[in-house]
Structure 1
């Protein structure tokens, strides 16, 4: 009795004009794979310290408000901490979605546009998040009137 022949997955499903062109992509995929592993480990540490400091060491979820964030971001350590967490989370997630797009988008043009939308949205979110972290002013002056809260220094 001869063993049955198992055809490769998708062998008859994808039309030849939609098959991906071969070619080496160099070491990019290896570096992307390594980045996912390393950034995942760093993100676990960043996120658990973030959750501990915000929820357990503080007053719990009721204590997280505008004043809490203002006080936290007054310290450059927490600005850099949140910035690294933002950047790593966005790049880690973008790389994961890129892999999913590569796996499931069959047409080259579909892959191209999905990845372009992904990359543009990633850049926009990283830029806006970075601007928010570093330009955040908890004690703004609006129309010459300082909006002073209890956490702002006296004018």
Structure 2
């Protein structure tokens, strides 16, 4: 994936229906919690090979287990075919924050760094805010 010049607001206005409404509401929440950090589009194939459009908040240099660090986002927001995803690329004590917060985030599925859910109403927004705040605290070099 690569950081692109696509305008985030134009992209979000183009997402239709309930997913669009949820994306815009979540964007507002995430942007407020991560105020002052970059907010840009990331586009292209994700590691699994599927093309993605992700709103990325906060640029970071993320170490990889094998090889050099990669430029990435601290938090990402994406609409998939059947669900929404929020990616939180921050860890504490060797574990992604998402895993530690899984039981507080609401009616969601949790992967290593991903939260997936059908609608924004499924997410405990207070727990999400707390997670975002902690992610920011743990990555003071995010830009």
Using the size of structure 2 for normalisation, the TM-score is 0.22
Relative contact order: is structure 1 or structure 2 higher (C-alpha 8 Å, sep ≥ 6)? 1
More strand by share: 2
| Structure possessing the higher radius of gyration over alpha carbons | 1
Using the size of structure 1 for normalisation, the TM-score is 0.21
